[in-house]
Structure formats: structure tokens, C-alpha cells
Amino acid sequence: MKSIIVVAAIIALLSIQHTNAEVSIGFNKTAILASANSTVTVFVILDVTNGALNMTKSVQCTSTDETATEGEDYKRVNEPITFSPGGDLSQSVSVEILTNATKGNTFSLMLSKIDNNTLALFSPKVTITIAVSVGFTKDEIEISPGPSNSTFEVEVSVTGNIAEGDTTTIQLESSNTASIANREIELLSGKNLLTVNVTILEIVSIGETILETLNLTSSASNVKISSGLLTIKIVTTDTQKGLEAGDIAGIAVGSVVIVLLAIAAATILIVVLVKKRSKK
């Protein structure tokens, strides 16, 4: 009889714990930066205290325009999120950001209760800001500059729409094996051809390859660098190289010989002129 009473008490205690369980659902973040032409994943978290989840809980996740426009900047979201007893404590929601989404536009995802179920929403909104994606279109290029300096072009792609009147500025930096000036560059939507000046700084041998790197950086919160490193192979030829020590010595000797020959010729000419005057 005592054992029956004990079992009943345990069951009653467990029932009270389950009844008193506090259930809340919310997003794991309040703000997200998403690149154009990408899919962003947002997580919805189940939080249970004072017990365990003993029944299914659901919320509805829907998208809402702010400055962004559904169908132009992103695809609509409207789906239920369900948590079951003994199941995962997080569920994911995916949002597709369209290719021509405009930089800086925002929209939000909202959680709402279904059938007024008894749960709390601790973080019911996440704001998504659209960023343009910027990157080099190649990982490596090869150039052969002129004797002292040269120009070449690199291609930078911008995915996403930059609104009229808006500016997107990136920083172009180099490792300075060769002299490539660091500078700020303003970009437009689509592919941008950047003209870069290069000057060979080092004394190099014929056929020697100098490896230079270019880096793209941006301090703007709505610009994401997708491929920001470019390796440049600078290959020198006989007319595109610094002078080696042997070359310098040869030129020096040649210059001395030329000077001596010029002096000798001038001396002979003076002697001839003097003789002509003496005969007169």
C-alpha cells in the first residue's frame, strides 16, 4: 500500500513539473547581414524552464517588408515552426535573397503564436539587411610590365543592386613587392574593370617572377567581400627588368671606352687644326 502511495506521489510531482514548465520561443539573433544572390539561414530556438516540453508547440514565421520589397529583394516567407516533446531545440528558416537585391534595403521575419497557445515569444523579430557582394573574378593573373612601370586591369564583380545616388567604396591594398598604390575605389553594380599601375622596385633577373598580392577591404556594414585576394605573377623579360651587377659593370666599362675615344678624336682634330694654321 505504501509503495502505491509513493508511486502516485511521484507521478503527481512529475505532472506538476510538466504543468509548470515555462516554454518560450524566439530567434537566436535580432539582426543579420545577407548578401545579394544568397540564401540566409535563421534559427528559431525553444527555451524550456522548470520542466520539460510535454506537448507540441508551434509558431508562424512570416516576412515583412521594411525598405526592401518582397519579390524584388527577397522571396516571401510564411511557414509554421513546430517543436515536439523530445525533439530538437532549434529549427531553421531559410530566406532567399535575390540577385538584384538593393544594397541597404531591410526586411524582417516575425514570429507569431498559432491558436493563441500558451507560450512566450522572447525574441520574435529579426531584421535582415541586404549587402552587396564584392570580389575579384579571378584568383591569379600574370603580367609583364614595361621597363619601369606599366598598367594592367583587374576585374571586380559586384553582386546586387546599388541604388542611384548611392556609393560603394572599397579599399585596394597591395603587399608592395612591386609598387602598386593603395587607394579607394568606387564601384557600380555588375563587373568593374580597375586600372592598376605597377612599378618594379627590386633588381631582378631576366625571367624572374615576382609575386604580388592585391586585397579588397571595406569598412561599410552593407558590403561583404566574397573573394578579396588576388595573386599577381609579374614576369620580367630582357626589356622589362632591373639591371644586374654584371650588366651595370659592362655598361660602366663601355661608357669609359666611349669617353676615351671621344677625347682621342677631339685631340686629333685639334692637332690637325693647329697644323693647318701653322702652314698658313
pLDDT tens track for 29-70: 999 999 999 999 999 999 998 778 888 899 999 999 999 999
Residues 152 and 221 occupy one common structural domain: yes
Let me know whether 164 and 83 are in one domain: no
Helix (H/G/I), strand (E/B), else coil: 173: strand
Residue 146 belongs to a domain: yes
Instruction: Note the pLDDT tens digit of each residue in 105-160.
Output: 999 999 999 876 678 899 999 999 999 999 999 999 888 766 556 778 889 999 99
Single residue among 84, 108, 132 that ends a domain in this structure: 132
Domain contains 263? no
Compare 235 and 253 and report the one with higher pLDDT: 235
Domain carrying residue 59 = 23-132
> In degrees to the nearest 10, what's the CA dihedral of 60, 65, 69, 74?
-40
pLDDT for the residue numbered 242: 45
**E-state strands within 147-249:** 149-159, 168-174, 178-179, 183-187, 190-200, 209-217, 223-227, 229-235
Rounded CA separation 189/39 (Å): 20
In a domain, 70, yes or no: yes
Q: Give how many domains the chain has, as a whole number.
A: 2
Residues 158 and 124 in one domain: no
**Structural domain contains residue 254:** no
Whether residues 80 and 156 share a domain: the answer is no
Cβ contacts of 85 within 8 Å, gap of 6 or more: 52, 53, 54, 55, 56
| Residue 94 covered by a domain | yes
Burial letters 96-122, b for 16+ CB under 10 A, else e: ebbeebbbbbebbbbbebeeeeebeee
Mark whether 122 and 141 lie in a shared domain. no
Beta-bridged to residue 88, according to DSSP, are none
More confident residue, 177 or 209: 209
| pLDDT tens digits for range 64-93 | 999 999 999 999 999 999 999 989 999 999
- Report CA-CA distances (Å) from 262 to 119, 152, 182: 102, 43, 48
Name the strands in the sheet holding 120-123, side by side, starting at the edge strand that comes first in the sequence.
90-97, 38-49, 22-27, 120-123
Q: What is the CATH number of the domain that holds 46?
A: 2.60.40.2030
Name the pTM for this structure. Answer: 0.70
Closest CA to 142 of 226, 243, 230, 239: 230
Residue 12 lies in a domain: no
pLDDT number for residue 233: 83
Burial (CB count <10 Å: 0-12, 13-18, 19+), residue 241: buried
Q: Kindly list the distances between the CA atom of residue 55 and the CA atoms of 11, 119, 159, 190, 224, in Å, as whole numbers in the listed order.
A: 17, 11, 45, 51, 42
Q: Return d(Cα 93, Cα 45) in angstroms, integer.
A: 11
Q: Is the pLDDT of residue 277 over 50?
A: yes
One-letter amino acid at 266 equals: A
Tell me the per-residue pLDDT of 240-249, one tens digit each, with 9 for 90 and over.
Answer: 444 444 444 5
**Whether 158 and 127 share a structural domain:** no
Please report which confidence band the pLDDT of residue 252 belongs to, taking 50, 70 and 90 as the band edges. Answer: low
Give yes or no: residues 47 and 103 share one domain. Answer: yes
Residue 95's nearest CA partner among 27, 46, 168, 162 is 27
Is residue 31 located within the same domain as residue 120?
Answer: yes
- Do 128 and 29 sit in the same domain of this protein? yes
Co-location of 108 and 155 in the same domain: no
Task: Verify that 126 and 173 share a domain, yes or no.
Answer: no
**Local confidence band at 206 (pLDDT 50, 70, 90 cut-offs):** low
pLDDT for 194: 84
CA angle 126/38/123 to nearest 5° reads: 10
> Is 271 part of a structural domain of the chain?
no
> Around 196, how many Cα atoms within 13 Å sit in the side-chain half-sphere?
32
Query: Is there a domain that residue 101 lies in?
Result: yes
Average per-residue pLDDT for the chain? 80
Interval 166-176: pLDDT, tens: 888 888 887 66
